Amino acid sequence: MITAQARHYPTFMTLEIIFPDRKEREFAKADNAIEAQKLLNYKNQQYIVKKLKSWLNQRQIAIRYGMTPKDPTTSARLYVLLGFYERQRAFHGLCSFIAEHKSFFVDIAPPETSNQFNYYNTIIRPILTFCEEMCNTNIKK
């Protein structure tokens, strides 16, 4: 997921924000560690929603053209629910939703023989794992 390297100064900190699928990086200023974590959560939420919505759109097209998942409405329902969690602005709620519904995402994953499998394996699967780990970490706290 998106990570950040922090450089601390006496009255603020700067963050170098690193994206998993981009070479360019962003820089941001935060007044403290709590603000920095909120910014990182926000960036991760934007990234997760953008990638999953794009992938769900692609899966809906695949379903129209012959892919036969257990339930053809799964991707549409996930897309709608994902939009709801995006509007709530709750990063941990979004991660919880994704972790709870991981099996539905996996059900509509492309087969290994598909040219879409690499995207699933390198972008979507790590998102699902990240969200699951976030939920497990929060439960233990």
* pLDDT tens by residue, 63-86: 777 766 666 677 777 877 777 767
Give the helix/strand (H/E) hosting 136.
helix 125-140
Residue with tokens 């053209």: 65
Q: How many residues does the chain have?
A: 141
- Mean pLDDT within 28-51: 92
Global model pTM greater than 0.85:
no
At residue 89, the pLDDT reads 65
Give every CB contact of residue 51 below 8 A, 6+ residues apart in sequence: 123, 124, 127
Whether the per-residue pLDDT at 120 is higher than 60: the answer is yes
pLDDT at 104 > cutoff 80: yes
pLDDT given for residue 84 in this prediction: 74
- The continuous run of DSSP H or E covering 95 comes out as helix 91-100
